[in-house]
Chain A
Amino acid sequence: MNNYSYISLIPLLPIATFLLLGLFGRKYFSSLSGIIGTLSLSVSAFLSILTAYKYFFVDGKVNGVFQQIIPLKYTWLQFSPTISIDMGIVVDPLSVMMLVVITFVSLMVHVFSLGYMKGEERFATYYAFLSLFTFSMLGLVLSTNIFQMYMFWELVGVSSFLLIGYYFDKPSAVAAAKKAFIVTRFADLGFLIGILILAFHAETLDFQTLIARLTDPQSSQILSSVTSSLFGVSALTWGLTLVFMGGAGKSAMFPLHIWLPDAMEGPTPVSALIHAATMVVAGVYLVARLFPVYCFDVSALQVVTYVGAFSALLAAVIACTQTDIKRVLAYSTMSQIGYMMFSLGVSKYGGEEGLGYMASLFHLFTHAFFKSLLFLGAGSVIHMVHSNEMKDMGGLRKHMPITHITFLIACLAIAGIPPFAGFFSKEEILLAAFHSNKLVFFVALFTSGLTAFYMFRLYYSIFWKKAAHLHGEHHDEGTFTMKIPLVILGACALLVGFVPISQFITSDGIGLETHIDVIFSITPVALAIAGILLATSLYKNENDRPIKISLAFGKFYEAAHKKFYIDEVYLFIIQKIIFNLIGRPAAWIDKNIVDGLMNLLAFITAEFSEFFKGLQSGKVQSYALYFFAGIFGLAVLFIYLVK
């Protein structure tokens, strides 16, 4: 095998940049920090693309299969004789593709930010955080060990917290960053327990060994994880479902999606990086990484399928009603990731049946390009009109031609119109769903019509509808550095659909012959066109039809507009139930009963003993009482009740 150890440079460059900019950037070369960050990342991106070329074309398949290579691995900690924590780098089709996606999109965002964030006071800090985020994300996809992945997973959470809360003098940004952090932390709790369960049964933390042991029906490990159960569900299913919970948190799957719309408070290029192409697809990556094990356990895979399909539909419905352009994009991301998830869910391991796996990652690949393009386009629009609301926009097509054209390309791509990138990947997903789960297929079909509708609603609201009424001082489309990434990504959104991903990335590494089934494609494309036409008739010119429709839908529109009250339900649970049922009583007992008892005891003591009067608050007696109660309780429990 060829030497791939230079890959370690790909994540090391961003972390070096982070240290450099974080420690010295602000003081010594604030204005240069953008250039430094961009240059270092372009080296990483170049190395990634080189790796992809070398891996797929120079080395190619061995015995018809793409090999998993581990060029670098050392045991970082021997936790116990059987379990070790390794640090290493894995090279396989999945990680190589992710490398390319992450470094490329991150590079585009770096370049775009040169113009977008210009003049910010904490310019160097911003680039330092971007580098930290890129490093953690790269570390995550290169992990050979589930613990290593978990560490980078948490680091991704921390750095996205820093980026979302970048405008930390804005209370809503701070609140959003906190919400994102706490919700994903909660999900990570599931991941953590899932890891513990899997590691306990598989007796390893290493991905390769873990997958080998848990997919071999004869192994003692699989026997122990299938036979031991909790609440009638086997340990394997619990472990996988909990691991998926962690993935669902990062990937904003229902019901853990509530942080994503709020996270739009961060700078827009950050959203393009985190919320389009990298962090939010970490969940998909996680399931794909453990896919052989998921295939072994049908019930966990069912959970993935239905959560994905439901999220796709729900997010699309909500997206139709939002008026903040970034929130529309946030919900659309959630919807598209829902596609990737259920596509994994309907897949099987290897062969023709494994189409879903390939389709999911294909969609991840194309989505990264057109969604980050959409976000960057939105960023350039916001840069121009200084607002996120649709009502402040309209008629911008003449003022920002490049943004307009590239945004249109991205909208066509996400709507699934041939020959744009989204069409190819979405076709494969629908085909995979069609062959294995009809219910999911119809949900997906309906959602793809909705997607076309709400994306073009967005498009017309920004660029058509009414004449632009720009007021205030100087407006322009943004600097050269802001336009370049738009053009490059626009070209990608046009072309990446033709990349024969199916040759490279399949669950078994063998490769798959796929072809576009023209007859099958007619329905989804027709639906997408219908969605676009509907949006055209409603939103191209100003008229009162949208309002009438929303009135006709009445309560449903209202509910969708309020995101189906999911935030309120959470708030209710947290504030009313947890706070009232646990917090308040605890406080009340503490204040009234414990303190009262102690005050009473203090009073009695004060009466009886003059000597201790000033000194003794009387609490110590009650402490002794509790002490005795504890001993008594334990003794009775374990001597008489538990035998």
Chain B
Amino acid sequence: MIVNDFFMLMKQELMIFVIIFILLFIKIGKDRSAENLLYFINALLLINVISGFILPSEGMIFSDMFKTNSLIMLEKNILNIGTLIISMQSYSWLKNHKHMIEFYILLLSTLMGMFFMISSGNVLMFYLGLELSTIPLAAIANFDLDKRKSSEAAFKFIISSAFSSGLLLFGISLIYGTTGSLTFSEIGQHITSNPLQIFAFVLLLAGFSFKISVVPFHLWTADVYEGAPIAVTSYLSVISKGAVLFVFVSVLYTVFKPITEIWYNMLFLLSIVTILIGNLFAIRQENFKRFLAFSSIAQVGFILVGITGSSQMGSASVIYFVLIYIFSNLGAFGVVSIVSALTGKENISDYKAFYKTNPMLSWVLTIALFSLAGVPPTAGFFGKFFLLMAGAAKGNYILITIAALNMIISFYYYLRVVKAIFMDENNQPIEKLHVPILPKLALLICVIGIVCIGLMSGVYEYIYSLSTGF
């Protein structure tokens, strides 16, 4: 329904705002046991997820600064679900952390930033949301306080982000200079292919590409992923990437529609480089987090292939893939985070003969990796297939061939990990782990998501019906 009610339109943002306030009051109040507190916070996040699905509304407020509709609400719900899963997975790590509440406050602030970014109808609003979603992240990247690598990661992240934001802002100012407007809908009417606007577009593209780790703007990714606590790494790799991708698609498909020809070619180039570099580097990684970092770069390359489709199909398949990617990647990160929190081991070689001691975790990890690799009947297979299908609609078979070839390469390295888990010998395998209930539940959700979303055709059709293209 179309309303102008502030409370209805911003209900998802307000919900997060309320949770942050509750957390602040808890922080001020007396000490409580960490375990109970974590259950309480996760319950709050669950309420947040559920409330997101109630009463979808549509409209624009604050002189078109903030807009929302069913698709945007769905995107926010997807991010909410991902955040809940990450929070549940980090239980073991957060339980022993002194500054747990601050962690949640910072994390939720970034989530709110992403919500504003997705809902923005104006370039300034977009920029504000982007910054709000970045700066607190740098703070929580530093949350392994006694680890030097963690602070290094935070520092690299904040410097790189500042750099990219600066250039993004430069691009925005050029856009303003040439179009005389800051509202997305008006900018779209004044975009032509004059060189200054193309240059401004390149700057904006670089800013987006930085956030979603597109080669050559990806270099911070591996270092930050490796150094940051795993909860933050998984947040960076799925939630923050997902949010920027949602905006990226809508900006490309609406604002820069007049220069589709140009950005199509740019994305064509970038996606090939991204898939190739991501894959070639992923092959030789030994650290599991670095491995997932590079493989996630390659995944983004595939998403770009879908975006080049520039159709309703393209937009729908990207959102669908992000949803699947959240479950698959968090399934993998979840196991890695549990193992890391309980044993401190983070190398792929540590996982040799993992199956002998931890069969359940091994299966979860295997299913997640298969989904990332795109093996049927996991959801990842459908996601990748739909992306390629959307990309193929433009008839550019060179791109599709390279992308499909790289599916084989990625297959090889995901299988390498599976082989280590099931077939390799190891004198000192990771001991039998006792997994607490919350992370266990989170992994269960991931597996259900991976298995079911692919097979339930309604999910895709629902997303398709909400999407727009041209």
Contacts and interface: CB of A to CB of B under 8 A. Distances in A.
A420 to B, nearest CB: 40
Interface stretch (B2-10, B155-163, B184-192, B326-334): B155-163
Contacts of B26: none
B376 interface: yes
A193 B404 contact: yes
Contacts of B461: 77-78
A155 B167 contact: no
Contacts of B404: 189, 192-193
B415 A627 contact: no
B262 A627 contact: no
B408 interface: yes
Counting chain A CB atoms within 10 Å of each CB, the highest count among B155, B389, B411, B419 belongs to B389
Interface string B279-312: 0110110000000000000000000000000011
A617 B266 contact: no
B198 A174 contact: no
Contacts of A230: 397
Given A623-B160, A629-B216, A642-B265, A586 B280 contact: yes
Nearest to A201: B395
B419 to A, nearest CB: 8
Nearest to B200: A635
Given A168-B422, A196-B388, A634 B205 contact: yes
B407 A189 contact: yes
Interface stretch (B33-41, B95-103, B217-225): B217-225
Nearest to A151: B376
Given A623-B219, A624-B163, A615 B262 contact: no
Contacts of A57: none
A6 interface: no
Interface in A623-639: 623-624, 626-627, 629-631, 634-635, 637-639
B265 A154 contact: no
Nearest to B159: A620
Interface residues of B, number: 62
B159 A168 contact: no
Contacts of B375: 154, 158
B281 A185 contact: no
Interface in B69-110: none
A500 interface: no
B392 interface: yes
Counting chain B CB atoms within 10 Å of each CB, the highest count among A186, A192, A616 belongs to A192
B198 A638 contact: yes
Contact of A638 (B151, B202, B223): B202
Contacts of A238: 397
Contacts of A638: 198, 202, 262, 265-266
B218 to A, nearest CB: 9
B202 A623 contact: no
Interface in B430-470: 457, 460-461, 464
Nearest to A630: B216
B344 interface: no
A228 B395 contact: yes
Nearest to B157: A620
Interface of B: 151-152, 155-156, 159-160, 163-164, 167, 195, 198-199, 202-203, 205-206, 209-210, 216-217, 219-220, 223, 262, 265-266, 269, 280-281, 283-284, 311-313, 375-377, 381, 385-386, 388-389, 392-393, 395, 397, 400-401, 404-405, 407-408, 411-412, 415, 419, 422-423, 457, 460-461, 464
10 smallest beta-carbon distances between A and B, as pairs: A77-B457, A623-B219, A630-B216, A196-B392, A154-B376, A639-B195, A635-B202, A626-B216, A634-B202, A189-B404
30 contacts: A77-B461, A78-B457, A78-B461, A85-B457, A154-B376, A155-B377, A158-B376, A168-B422, A178-B419, A182-B408, A185-B408, A192-B385, A196-B388, A196-B389, A199-B389, A200-B392, A200-B395, A228-B395, A238-B397, A617-B152, A620-B159, A620-B160, A622-B219, A623-B219, A626-B219, A627-B167, A627-B206, A627-B219, A631-B202, A634-B266
Interface of A: 76-80, 85, 147, 151, 154-155, 158, 168, 174, 178, 181-182, 185-186, 189, 192-193, 196-197, 199-200, 228, 230, 238, 582-583, 586-587, 590, 615-617, 619-620, 622-624, 626-627, 629-631, 634-635, 637-639, 642
Given A80-B464, A85-B457, A622-B219, 6 more contacts: A76-B457, A79-B389, A155-B376, A629-B216, A638-B202, A642-B262
